[in-house]
Amino acid sequence: MFSADKELGYGEKVMADRKNSREKDATVRRLFKWKSQIEVPKMIKSVHRVHISYSQDGRIGTIEGLWEPTESERSAAWDMYVEIVTRIPVAFVVPGEGSLQVSLSSTYKIFGATRDILRKYGPEVARPRAEGQISFGCLSVKVLDLILRPFLLKWYPRLTEYESTKKATESSYDHERKWDCYQELSQELIQIRDALLQYAQLLAQASEVPSLIFDKECLGKRAT
C-alpha cells in the first residue's frame, strides 16, 4: 500500500507528464501553422498546340496534336532544345558560307541525341495520352521519322558519292559548289531548318525558356 508521500509524488509526476504533453502538442501545432504559411511554388500546367509543318519532295506534311508535358518531359524538352539550337542546320549561317557535308552530319547526330534523351528519361516521357494528345517520346520520334530520315536517306548517299570524286588538290568548299545538286540540296536544307525551328520553338515553350536562336537580324545588331 502506498504512503501519502508516495501518492503525492506520483500525482505530481502525472501532472508534469500531462503538462509536457500539452506543451509538445502546442509546439507541433505552431510548426504546422508555420509550414502552412510558406508559399510553395506551383507548377502551372499548360497544354501546347503542336503544329510542325514540313515539305518532302513537294509534298506538305504536318505533325499535329496537343501536348501537356509532365515534369520529366519538360526536362527532356530542355535537353532536346539544347541539342537542336546548337546544330548547324538551325543556327543561322550566311548564305554561301556553309558546308553541305557539315550540315548533313550535324543533322544526322540528332538521331543519336534523341536516343540518348529517351533512354535517360525512360518510358514515362513516351506513355500514351488521351485521344488527340501526344507525348515527348511520340513527338521526338515523329520528327526523326517524318522529317529528318527521308531527307537524309535521299541526300547522304548522293553527297558521299559526289565527295569521292574530289581531287586531292581541290578544296571541299570549291568542290561542293561545282555539284549539280548544290542548289537543290541547299534549298532543302532551308526547309529542314524551318521545320526544326518550329520544333525548337515548341521545346522552348515546354521548357519555359526564351528563344536562344539568333537570326540574321539579331546577328546584324550585335555586329554594329
- State the Cα–Cα distance between residues 133 and 68, nearest whole angstrom: 8
**Residue of 21, 31, 54, 7 whose CA lies nearest to 195:** 54
Q: What is the pLDDT of residue 91?
A: 75
From the centroid of its chain, how far is CA 23?
51
Q: pLDDT, tens digit, for every residue of 184-219? A: 999 999 999 999 999 999 999 999 999 888 765 444
> Are 35 and 75 within one domain?
no
Domain span at residue 137?
48-223
Contact 81, 204 (CB under 8 A): yes
> Are 175 and 219 within one domain?
yes
Q: How many CB atoms lie within 10 A of CB 203?
A: 26
- Whole-model pTM: value is 0.74
> Are 188 and 87 within one domain?
yes
> Are 54 and 159 within one domain?
yes
Determine the 3-state secondary structure of 86 from DSSP: coil
Question: Which bin fits 47, alpha (ψ -120 to 50), beta or left (φ > 0)?
Answer: beta
> Are 54 and 153 within one domain?
yes
Provide the domain count of the chain. Answer: 2
Q: Which residue has the higher pLDDT, 181 or 129?
A: 181
Sign of CA dihedral 193, 196, 202, 206: negative
> Are 34 and 97 within one domain?
no
Q: What is the pLDDT of residue 24?
A: 59
- State the Cα–Cα distance between residues 37 and 198, nearest whole angstrom: 42
> Are 140 and 168 within one domain?
yes
Q: pLDDT, tens digit, for every residue of 53-105? A: 999 888 899 999 999 999 999 999 999 999 999 988 887 666 667 799 999 99
Q: Where are the beta strands (DSSP E) in the chain?
A: 48-56, 59-67
* Letter string b/e over residues 37-72, b meaning 16 or more CB atoms within 10 A of that residue's CB: eeeeeeeeeeebebebebebeeeeeebebebebbee
> Are 55 and 160 within one domain?
yes
Contact 67, 59 (CB under 8 A): no
> Are 13 and 72 within one domain?
no
Q: What is the pLDDT of residue 218?
A: 44
- State the Cα–Cα distance between residues 53 and 37, nearest whole angstrom: 47
> Are 103 and 184 within one domain?
yes
Q: Give the chain's radius of gyration (CA, Å).
A: 31
> Are 96 and 169 within one domain?
yes
> Are 13 and 95 within one domain?
no
Q: pLDDT, tens digit, for every residue of 109-163? A: 999 999 999 999 999 999 987 777 899 999 999 999 999 999 999 999 999 999 9
